[in-house]
Amino acid sequence: MKQDNTHPTQEQIIEWNRAQNSKAEARHERRADLQGRTLAQYEATSRTIGWAWMAAIVMIIIQLLTCQTAPAQTMYEVQYKTQADLLLYEVRYASQADIRYYPVQYRSQANERRNHWYWTDYPAQAKYRVYWVQYRSQADRLVYEVQYPAQTR
């Protein structure tokens, strides 16, 4: 009698199941290993980002505590010479001026160190009250209005 090889024997089925189980276990172990590595990488990244945020917050707090805003150079033009803190004369050329100033539109843009001036509407709001004199010899300071903020000194 001839043996029929079209149907597997019981032993072949068991052997095939064992092979499939071992392959599945190997895949599961690889996946678990990858997930473990990914989890470790995620934890390390989270720690790093946490420390970076804490450092940024500390830097912001230090800057808020130590930084000082630039004093605004606010000006008011008075009508009489006796009311003025400064007597100014505007010269024709920048090379003749003691101060090169730039008028700004908003008070927040004014900066005393850079001679960016903001003209106020009321004398109480101004740091300096100025009077424009008619002759150069009467002036405390010679000034020149520049076109661009970078040209001040």
Domains in the chain, number: 2
Contact 96, 142 (CB under 8 A): yes
Residue 1 inside a domain? The answer is no
pLDDT digits (tens, 9 = 90+) for 143-153: 999 999 888 87
| Chosen domain end from 51, 67, 83 | 67
Task: Find all residues with CB under 8 Å of 94, minimum gap 6, and list them.
Answer: 100, 144, 146, 151
Co-location of 78 and 142 in the same domain: yes
Q: What is the pLDDT of residue 139?
A: 93
Residue 14 inside a domain? The answer is yes
Residue 48 inside a domain? The answer is yes
By percentage, how much of the chain surpasses pLDDT 90?
Answer: 40
Among 77, 104, 153, residue whose Cα is nearest residue 143: 153
Among 14, 146, 150, 139, residue whose Cα is nearest residue 84: 139
Instruction: List the domain range (segments joined by +) for residue 44.
Output: 7-67
| Chosen domain end from 16, 34, 67 | 67
Would you say residue 142 has pLDDT above 90? Answer: yes
For the chain, give the mean pLDDT: 85
Q: What is the pLDDT of residue 24?
A: 82
Co-location of 63 and 87 in the same domain: no
Which position has the higher pLDDT, 15 or 64? 15
Token pair 């150079």 is found at 73
| Chosen domain end from 67, 84, 119 | 67
Co-location of 54 and 78 in the same domain: no
Instruction: Please tell me the number of Cα atoms within 13 Å of 29 on its side-chain side.
Output: 6
pLDDT digits (tens, 9 = 90+) for 20-65: 888 888 887 777 666 666 777 878 888 899 999 999 998 888 877 7
Co-location of 77 and 147 in the same domain: yes
Task: Find all residues with CB under 8 Å of 141, minimum gap 6, and list them.
Answer: 86, 87, 88, 89, 98, 99
Query: How far apart are the C-alpha atoms of 84 and 87, rounded to whole Å?
Result: 7
The two beta strands, 141-145 and 116-119, are unpaired
Co-location of 146 and 77 in the same domain: yes
* Backbone φ and ψ of 140, nearest 5°: -75, -40
Confidence (pTM): 0.53
Which position has the higher pLDDT, 67 or 10? 10
Residue 71: pLDDT band with limits 50, 70, 90: low
Would you say residue 1 has pLDDT above 60? Answer: no
Among 153, 151, 133, residue whose Cα is nearest residue 141: 133
Mean pLDDT in residue range 80-101:
93
Co-location of 22 and 77 in the same domain: no
Co-location of 79 and 136 in the same domain: yes
Task: Find all residues with CB under 8 Å of 89, minimum gap 6, and list them.
Answer: 132, 133, 135, 136, 138, 139, 141, 142, 143
